[in-house]
Amino acid sequence: LTEAGLGRLLHSPMVSFFRSAVRRAPRVMQGSKHVSRMLCAGIVRVVGCGSGRVDSRVVALAAAMVNDTSVVTMSSFLESLIGFDESASLSALASIPSLVLCGDADVMTPFEHSASMASRLPASELVRVSGAGHSVILERAAEVAHAVAALVARAGHGERLANVG
């Protein structure tokens, strides 16, 4: 995750400064976050949502989720992402029907991450949602629901075939 998209910024001095400041003065940092709440919607729209066609209610919901998350949680999450690599675990899921879905305008975890994951999961279906960003499940709920329903149907069909044989 730290090699592409916004993940590559996890090693930047600004992220290190933020994490250090949160460790040293969590209340002050939380207070400064409250001051910046107005900026959050704009940042969420640019970073979290793909196209400009995103409903303003979706942006408001995503911004509210970010605004309601404490800076301590955010800092800890960023720290955990720095060393996060579960690619070795994919082999355990290789035979399980799965869905890898990503918006092709996701700047946080680019589509290439999803394509790489899907290439290591032979029983997976890779779905690219055109124009959707990191908040694809909020931006395109109907398309995501359709892909999940198709996965359930595919997995159920495979289970019936296994029981017949």
Q: Give the pLDDT confidence of 84-122 residue by residue, as tens digits.
A: 888 888 999 999 999 999 999 888 888 998 999 999 999
Q: Is 52's pLDDT higher than 70?
A: no
List beta partners, residue 101.
Answer: 127
Give buried/exposed letters for 83-104 (b at 16+ CB in 10 A, else e): eeeeeeebeeeeeebbbbbbbb
Mean of the per-residue pLDDT values for the chain? 80
CA distance 104 to 151: 20
Domains of the chain, each with CATH number or no CATH: 5-82 (no CATH), 87-164 (3.40.50.11320)
